[in-house]
Structure 1
Amino acid sequence: MRAVTYNLLNGGLDDGDDARLLRQVDILAGLAPDVLTLQECTGWPPRLAEEVAAALGMSVALTATSGTGSGLNATVLFHRPSVLKLVAPAAQRGQGIYTHALIKAHLRPVDAEDTSGDFLALGTHLSWSGAAARLTEVTGYLTDFAGDFPGTPARALLMMDANTPAPYDRRPWRWSKIPTNLQPRYRRIRPSGRLAGIDRAAMRALLNAGWQDPQAHIRGRRAATVGYYYANERVPWHLDHILLAGPWPKAANYRTVDTHELRALADHLPVVLEI
């Protein structure tokens, strides 16, 4: 099974021009995901998610509009119906809590004769606004599914733009590598309002609850997912992640797809997990 998460940057649309999105969809088709979460599906008309799904040979599990802002931003979770089927309709969770959205889908291999292959697919886009918001979003809404939880499968898979670095990401050698006005997004803020080190609270909460980072079992560090697009933010961090919970087989591959073309198409790179 192959899972992919990818932040498209403004829906892949530029003033209504879909040329960038068409290239992104073509690349995604080549990656052939069985389950996929796309963040920042901004400005998509109602039928566009279905058209993207058709181009990928997938089905839309759910489109979830961001909880704040203009209502134009959305997160979409897809599944490949020839490989995985929805056991029940997918649902949006955490409305009123999430800056963006959280999607929950109960999936089962199509050839399964029982429920042993079931898993919970979670697709999300955590808040850009800072440490406190992200920690609120993951507490309960995501940490619950890191272990046994009533009414849910024993296994779970989380695809996300976490807007927070991985535990192994280093702080910039100079914080001036990030504009001062953007640093509160990524740093801890003391009660005095002064900025401290990198905010890792949300990721630590997930991992301490039982979510597993496949990177721990894969030889070689995957490429960073951001830090190349904006001239004033040249900090290579892993903000995009796929985490596992429960008794999964060992991951066969966990990588960031980093090419010159993808760097030109969006400010995040896609992440692929193969199990």
Structure 2
Amino acid sequence: MTTIRVVTFNTWFGGHDDFGLGAGDRWRGQIEFLKSLEADILALQECNFWDLLGNRRMYQTLNALELGSAYLAYANETTSGHRFHSVIMLGRRVRLAAQGADRDRYHHVMGWANLILPGLDGLLELRNLHLDPFDPRNRAREVSPLGVLAAPGRRSLVVGDVNTIGLEYPEPDWRQLSAHAVNGQLRLPREDQVSDRDATELLARAGFTDASHPFHQEMAATAGFGDGDVPRRQDLILMSPALAPALIGYQVHLEPVNKGLSDHGAASADFDLSRVA
């Protein structure tokens, strides 16, 4: 079978209360939800404290989901002491050619993997993003090197929490957001007071397309469901032109929001790799 499923999901402090230090009731609910999606490639963000005791929480999650392998991208420390690690988990049909992480260019971290997939001649290049939530200028810098992944013939996916608005999502009413959080969402002062979309615009100009578009889901909110926040679309699955013909399905899953498991929904995309020449 040449069909694979890709899922991205922000776990909201790794599924644990008290900023990742407390009870794991949400984590247990997330396991049940994620297992139902049957992902072949699972990109997770905000995996706080999953690195402790030899990546113990990461491996607990891997084993509970019955997936084949996992890689934790160790994040930079924020000004409040958090490390928002990201994790890539792979099903047993997916093999690794290479994997690693980049902290130097990123506010948090970018995890990456080059993958060998059934039915695909050559590699799939995966990037798991969790972009800067505070600085629009930095988000643009973070994604700028990724444009080369959209070059002719390169099969690549850029997924994750981009902390900015998807291109075709309607302009939110940011007046609902607390003043201290607005700078992370709007363009710089002296510019039009509208959402910063530079990062997604740069990726689109390079050739990436959003997996939501063919299924008319580009206006489906994926994040910002917490108290005092503004719902918006920022958890994306972006495809290079060479991979786009393989896309056969896309969905936003709001079960984590509806059940109080996270302030993000998940996004999934299905690809039939036999469609890639």
TM-score normalised to the size of structure 1? 0.87
- SS of corresponding position for 1:4: strand
One-letter code aligned to 2:6: A
- CA offsets per residue over residues 177-221 of structure 1, 9 Å max, x none? 11111100110013x5x7721100000000100111122211455
CA distance in 1, matches of 2:154, 2:71: 22
- The 5 Å alignment of 1:22-171 reads 22-44=28-50, 45=52, 46-69=55-78, 70=81, 72-81=83-92, 83-88=93-98, 90-93=99-102, 95-109=103-117, 111=118, 116-140=121-145, 142-148=146-152, 154-171=154-171
Q: What amino acid maps onto 1:35 in structure 2?
A: I
User: What's the RMSD between the two structures over aligned residues?
Assistant: 2.0
How far apart are the structure 1 equivalents of 2:241 and 2:94? Answer: 18
Q: Helix, strand or coil: the match of 1:5?
A: strand
8 A Cα contact 2:30 2:256, kept in partner: no
Give yes or no for the alignment of 1:254 onto 2:250.
yes
TM-score, reference length from structure 2: 0.86
Give 1:61 shift: 4.0
* Structure 1 residues 27 and 136: CA distance shift in structure 2, 3 A: same
The C-alpha deviation readout for 1:127-173, integer Å capped at 9, x for no partner, is 11121110010011x2221214xxxx720011110000111122234
Aligned-partner Cα distance in 2 for 1:188–1:130: 9
The answer (yes or no) to whether the contact 1:49–1:60 under 8 Å persists in 2 is: no
1:260/1:239 Cα in 2 relative to 1: closer, same or farther (>3 Å)?
closer
- What is the CA–CA distance in structure 2 between the aligned matches of 1:134 and 1:212, rounded to whole Å? 18
1:213 corresponds to which of 200, 210, 213 = 210
Contact 2:225/2:257 (8 A) holds in 1: no
Distance 1:8 1:199 in 2: 24
Please say if residues 10 and 161 of structure 2, whose CA atoms lie closer than 8 Å, have aligned partners that are also in contact: yes
